[in-house]
Amino acid sequence: MSGQRSEATTNLPTITYLFIVTTLLQLALVNSIPPPPLFACDPSNPSTKSYPFCNTKLPINQRVKDLVTRLSLDEKIAQLTNSVPPIPRLGIPVYEWWSESLHGVSRHGRGYRFNGTFARNGTIFNGTATIKAATMFPQIILTASSFDAQLWYRIARAIATEARAMYNVGQGKGLTFWAPNINIFRDPRWGRGQETPGEDPLLTARYGVSYVRGLQGYTFQGDKISKHLQASACCKHFAAHDLDNWHGITRYTFNAEVSKQDLADTFQPPFQSCVEQGQASSIMCAYNRVNGIPSCAHHDFLTDTARGQWHFDGYIVSDCNAVPIIYEQQKYAKTPEDAVAAVLSGGMDVECGSYTPRYSKSAITQKKVAEEEIDQALNNLFSVRMRLGLFDGDPRIDGSFGKIGPEQVCSEDHQNLALEAAQNSIVLLKNDNNLLPLPKAKTNSFAVIGPNADSPQVLLGNYEGYPCKTTTILEALQSYVENIKYHSGCNAVECSSAEVEQVVELAKEVDYVVMVMGLDQTQEREKLDRVDLVLPGKQQSLIASVSEAAKTPIVLVLLCGGPVDVSLTRDDKKVGSILWAGYPGEAGGLALAEIIFGDHNPGGRLPVTWYPQDFVQVPMTDMRMRPDKSSGYPGRTYRFYQGKKVYEFGYGLSYSNYSYEFTSVTRDKISLNQEPHTNQLLKSSNITRSILVSQLGVQFCETLKFSAFVRVKNTGKMAGRHPVLLFVRAGEQNDDSPIKQLTGFESVNLNGGQESEIEFSVSPCEHLSKANKDGQMAMDKGVYFLVVGEATYKITTIA
């Protein structure tokens, strides 16, 4: 027997090996299946059935109160950060508050993943993610150029759909998204201006409302579709935040000195609209101080104004690590505990960061923070999670949005929407002798020159995700014509060196030249403001050399978020056309090619003033909106700026022409004394020129509203989508009065020769008023003019 081995003994290693391999394969198969979404109150868990906070028949405030009372102090404190740990004994999973969705579900933040490994309840899920990309729409500064609120709403709805799809297959750890950015693009050098809808408060407010309603799953009018939020939107950064890093002055230490007047009619209106009309479920407080007080410790802003006056219902989050700087850099607080006490008493609920949970317990021990303050923060936080349906069991079974699947991400509809958004937002700044559109004849030769021509990344801007697919501008142009030669011209966008001789020779050889220049994220971004308004490096001289050598006037495409001084190019007859395309998203290359070759008629209009280079003499830190003649301060934005402009707010050309006419206005005299009490107010306050809107009252202001009807006609041959902008200007101007002010806008589709009538609703208390020195809205008596293009209509307010 000693020389023999049994069959079983002989085969044991093979059986063991096969068992191990089979087990590993099974485990790999199990772990490759997407995990379920995160949720609390699992109906399969018997213990959760007895918790009132899991009872969906109870009001949310009662459910939240029950939940918070069950938590220990340590468990409560652990909830005060963006990356929230689980509470296993109550069946409550981890949660991540920080996700980004500025113009598509983003790879930034910590809430969503497109690849790699991730864990659920201790299980490691490995391998390929189900969803690897999301639709990347144009950067916001470009989308705003469409002046199309329906478009903005539709984009937000698409983003919310893709977010829920990713959440439903376990690729998201939260449904709270920190967008939109509704700060005013006050200074053209701001690196994050690209994220905003521009410089006008009404435009910014309308964008914010449209985005919030779309992302949260409301109708365009603001009605609820479901009992749950589809996702949570966050209006940021509150308030007067528009400087990142300029000449060494950073957002972390900057003290924005802002007048009550400018707060009232420039910086706060977008946030007020976002809360009152959009019903936003979150606000983010900013890094900077405002008049000496850190934004995240600003009780007047967060508690008195947002929650008290505007009735904000949601959670307030800090910008990331905005709490420690209150002690460490701003020196506003004497100790870390004082910093935590300041933000919690000010109205902040959760920190993006770990400072607040780190020092909350010692702050309580030192009696600087009461546990009740933490309870209030948790009430706000858990209320939003419950409004999202995350305490109602598996959202895939009973949830309003649980059936949204991966097939709805990067769908054909969403990709077409991304193309439509770019098409309708790109701005034609110059088109001498109708150079554009270019002919498609195969016999023509073309040169494409520029560092931005063949870059897919530059199309996306910041806070981007992984796009479904991207076609560069060069690739898109090549799809129209075969005979294209390409040269980058510069070593990079910074263009510290340029191959002038090569591109000049190339320009001489071809019939048409398209140059694709501008900026990218190395020139403007978060934490980086510009110090110049001209094109970087040798770009301008390269444009001049190429245009001089070319057989025909060239086409210049500018990719940039902030405005650039291209006055030399604007005035150069050898540059025939200029297109501004912002950062146009994943379909931006296709949209530009369609516009350049005439398959789409451009109609975008600038949402910001383009300033000349000498504007850089104005300190970026000067927050004043209104001009000051005594010091030569020119003011800011189209509403107040009195200097020279490269291009004006609202400027934009088309392949068609449009005419405007006021057909009727339902009221041309606005009486401010239609009720006896108004007369008495005018007399008792000794006001001879203006009256406070608050004195008129909400009901009386409603009676003053009227409609203005404008006929717009496409007098050209080519169909196009055209934004119609209604402004109002006072007949008597002073430095406190806006030069003009946007009152309304609508976007219309018109065939060649077609006309349409647009009704604008005008509210005198809102649209004819301005802020006084005390930050109160007041309406002057006198003459005003409604303005659309060259058409004007006179109205008068009388007492």
Distance from C-alpha of 401 to C-alpha of 157, rounded to nearest angstrom: 12
Instruction: Work out the number of other CB atoms within 10 angstroms of the CB of residue 440.
Output: 11
Cα 725 to Cα 748: distance, rounded to the nearest angstrom: 11
CA atoms of 156 and 280, how far apart (whole Å): 13
Nearest alpha carbon to residue 378 among 89, 70, 98, 59:
70
Would you call 628 a catalytic residue per the annotation? no
Q: Torsion angle, CA of 197/201/203/209, rounded to 10 degrees?
A: 90
The three-state secondary structure class of 479 is coil
| Angstrom distance (rounded) from CA 667 to CA 795 | 8
Q: Are 563 and 188 in contact (CB under 8 A)?
A: yes
Number of C-beta neighbours around residue 73 at 10 A? 12
**Which two three-digit tokens encode residue 692?**
């406070």
Residues 6+ apart with CB under 8 A from 574: 547, 548, 550, 553, 554
Q: How far apart are CA 127 and CA 32, in angstroms?
A: 6
How much of the chain is in helix, strand and coil states, percent to nearest 5? 35, 20, 45
Closest residue by Cα to residue 143 from 419, 474, 525:
419
Residue 733 buriedness (CB in 10 A; 0-12 / 13-18 / 19+): exposed
Q: Greatest CA separation found in the chain?
A: 123
User: What does the alpha-carbon distance between residue 305 and residue 299 come to, in Å, rounded to a whole number?
Assistant: 8
Burial class for 141, CB neighbours closer than 10 Å (0-12, 13-18, 19+): buried
**Rounded distance between C-alpha atoms, residue 759 and residue 40, angstroms:** 48
Contact 730, 780 (CB under 8 A): yes
d(CA 352, CA 370): 21
Report the alpha-carbon distance of residue 154 to residue 171 in Å, rounded. 23
Separation between Cα atoms, residue 544 and residue 108, nearest integer Å: 39
Burial track 774-795 (b if 16+ CB lie within 10 A, e otherwise): eeebbbbbeebebbbbeeebeb
Per the residue annotation, which of 265, 319, 520, 565 is the catalytic one? 319
**Cα-based torsion angle of the residue sequence 641, 642, 644, 648 in order, rounded to the nearest 10 degrees:** 50
Using an 8 Å Cβ cutoff, are 725 and 202 in contact?
A: no
Find the helix or strand (DSSP H, E) in which 784 lies.
Answer: strand 782-788
Q: Residues with catalytic annotation?
A: 319
